[in-house]
Structure 1
């Protein structure tokens, strides 16, 4: 673990001035690391924060694993200094990490999940779109909209009404046999599993209105830690059922994604 304590004047604490990554470790090795590193590089470039060396990053997972699956969280802030919002002339970034054992919720792979539409709308800021910066207040507020444990996720649209993402996952849908995911040029987090699927041509970007998502043939939420959850029921902001989808035995999106993550299709 690196730098477990954060000073009061740390800019990440004060302003959300930094980025983070949440990485699945399998037997101590990071999964989809090239994609996590690429997003970290992009985030540092966008915020003008010096990038840690690869040696510093690798050190965060060099201790012996405590479980077959772990979650590595990397937090990089600009460090301390500066006056108000003005950044210091010479930044000294602060890198922190934590590893925790992880048990995947495989029941959601096989049984599907309920999701709901969120009332909150994401604002547009292209400079921050795609990166995993530390200011996630929109997601925090959206997640406060429900406390029903039977609802696994909430879908977020932007101020123009287009579907963007879920509160902590990316969204995928199928229409006429083709798999799609929303573009994230204005807002949202570009997940690493999403990036891998786009690179392989498994999915393609397309826009869809949030209020039309109930019309798709199939719907999923997914990320590089939890894997792919098929959506079995979609609820409105008020809890009314908008659509239900039957669970089908063959799931190409899940099969390819879980192969990339190293998850067994028969795991329980």
Structure 2
């Protein structure tokens, strides 16, 4: 099994697809274990928000069913859903009555080194900045050129992730993850109302932290605040939580709150 298009096995897509021409669509990357798509409700909720913002009319019950059937055949791996506005002729204007396209692709679960989770990772301080666009902020839309350029900034094996900031230099996220700081027992993560991706694991951890009575702040984070952080970690919906041990000359050790949320993430991905 390699890919489905609109619920059927397929290996080719129409060259007039608006996702290919304009990045006109959304995607979700979903960990699959024992045939079960992890955090599916969170992925579908973000997809629904994206479809509402982009005015793409899609049957979310159908999407859920296709993901579950695809995952059951995959077993273990990663399922990537790409949802585009559909096929159309040349021109930016959406064409009325065109059905969206649903593309599902699979890949093996990434074999990340165990050390990333146990001892932490080093982040590369990317120079590529995230542009502000509130209408698209938080969405997992198909326009990922900022992340492509940021990831091209390092080629060594020393850095497992990159740190991305906005045009004002505020800390936002990783290239393919969300970033959290812990300072004096308070869990901090960036406000994503101007730019960035509202990760599904990020949302789940915020919910669980509040349920556990942890003080939480979602706000702008200045780069200088990294120096005062007691703990730093990154997360996404495939690997869970990685402690951050270094960014440039700054260093940390995995802390108790990071370990607690790392255990929460592991449970979320395995159940």
Instruction: Give me the TM-score of the superposition, normalised by structure 2.
Output: 0.88
Q: Where does the alignment leave 5 or more consecutive residues of structure 2 unmatched? A: 6-10
Q: Give the match for residue 5 of structure 1.
A: 12
Any residues of structure 2 matched to 1:17-166 within 5 Å, and which?
Answer: 17-63=24-70, 64-67=72-75, 69-105=76-112, 106-166=114-174
Q: Give the match for residue 177 of structure 2.
A: 169
Shift of 1:260: 1.7
Q: Give the match for residue 191 of structure 1.
A: 199
Shift of 1:71: 0.5
Give the whole-Å Cα distance in 1 for the aligned partners of 2:188 and 2:237.
Answer: 17
Shift of 1:259: 1.9
Give the whole-Å Cα distance in 1 for the aligned partners of 2:67 and 2:38.
Answer: 14
Q: Where does the alignment leave 5 or more consecutive residues of structure 1 unmatched? A: 236-241, 264-268
Give the whole-Å Cα distance in 2 for the aligned partners of 1:141 and 1:16.
Answer: 16
1:12, 1:134 within 8 Å by CA — same for their partners in 2?
yes
Secondary structure at 1:208 match in 2: coil
The one of 185, 202, 208 aligned to 2:221? 208
2:23, 2:141 within 8 Å by CA — same for their partners in 1?
yes
Aligned Cα root-mean-square deviation (Å): 1.8
Shift of 1:248: 4.4
Shift of 1:57: 3.4
Give the whole-Å Cα distance in 2 for the aligned partners of 1:65 and 1:249.
Answer: 38
Secondary structure at 1:230 match in 2: strand
Shift of 1:66: 4.6
Which string of whole-angstrom CA distances, capped at 9 and with x for unpartnered residues, describes residues 146-179 of structure 1? 1111101111111122111110000011000111
Off by >6 Å, runs of 4+ in structure 1 = none
